[in-house]
């Protein structure tokens, strides 16, 4: 079965994503013109976004990766308590840091991550996310670079997954509810 059969609707097309990423890359290039920002990609979801984003940025950037998971919640909810599964190799002190994320949902994980990064002494920290779900926000987070605001639906594709699947869809779509309902029944 084609994984696209599990998609209820396409929210953001491949073309819309590429156009917006180019705009974000140009904006970052202007904002950091005489600096060399450190782009910290949050694994695994943001890898697809980062790879296209950095090719749209016309200035030098450094790239590093961080694995973060929130624990104590379910597969579909964040608790805001984070566990670092892979830390950055780069020293972030006195650097301009841009955290690159696939989606900011409740904001709990992102706030915890920003608070952690602040303890490491960077010059600045900004957030760049492909998607934002403001309807789900539980805490305020200042997102400087946002690709798209999306409704409170279960989104997949372009790096976003459900149970480690669908990351390779070239667009952002909504997962059919019966897919995750069936999975809940199998696990329950």
**Catalytic center residues:** 105
Q: Write a three-state SS string for the chain.
A: CCHHHHEEEEEECHHHHHHHHHHHHHHHHHHCCCCCCEEEEEECCCHHHHHHHHCCCCCCCEEEEEEEEECCCCCCCCCCCEEEEECCCCCCCCCEEEEEEEEECCCHHHHHHHHHHHCCCCCEEEEEEEEECHHHCCCCCCCCEEEEECCCCCEEECCECECCECCCCCCEEEECHHHHHHHHHHHC
Token pair of 28, please? Answer: 């970052």
């Amino acid at each position: 079965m084609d994984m696209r059969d599990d998609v209820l609707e396409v929210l953001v097309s491949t073309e819309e994503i590429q156009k917006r990423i180019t705009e974000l890359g140009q904006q970052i290039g202007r904002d950091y013109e005489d600096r060399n920002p450190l782009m910290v990609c949050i694994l695994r979801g943001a890898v697809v976004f980062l790879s296209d984003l950095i090719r749209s940025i016309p200035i030098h950037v450094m790239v590093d990766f961080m694995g973060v998971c929130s624990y104590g919640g379910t597969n579909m909810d964040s608790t805001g308590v984070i566990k670092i599964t892979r830390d950055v190799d780069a020293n972030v002190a006195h650097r301009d840091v841009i955290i690159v994320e696939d989606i900011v949902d409740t904001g709990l994980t992102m706030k915890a991550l920003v608070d952690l990064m602040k303890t490491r002494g960077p010059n600045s920290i900004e957030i760049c996310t492909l998607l934002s779900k403001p309807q789900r926000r539980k805490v305020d987070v200042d997102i400087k670079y946002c690709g798209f605001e999306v409704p409170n639906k279960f989104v997949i594709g372009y790096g976003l997954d459900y149970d480690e699947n669908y990351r390779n869809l070239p667009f952002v779509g909504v997962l059919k509810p019966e897919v995750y309902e069936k999975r809940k029944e199998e696990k329950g």
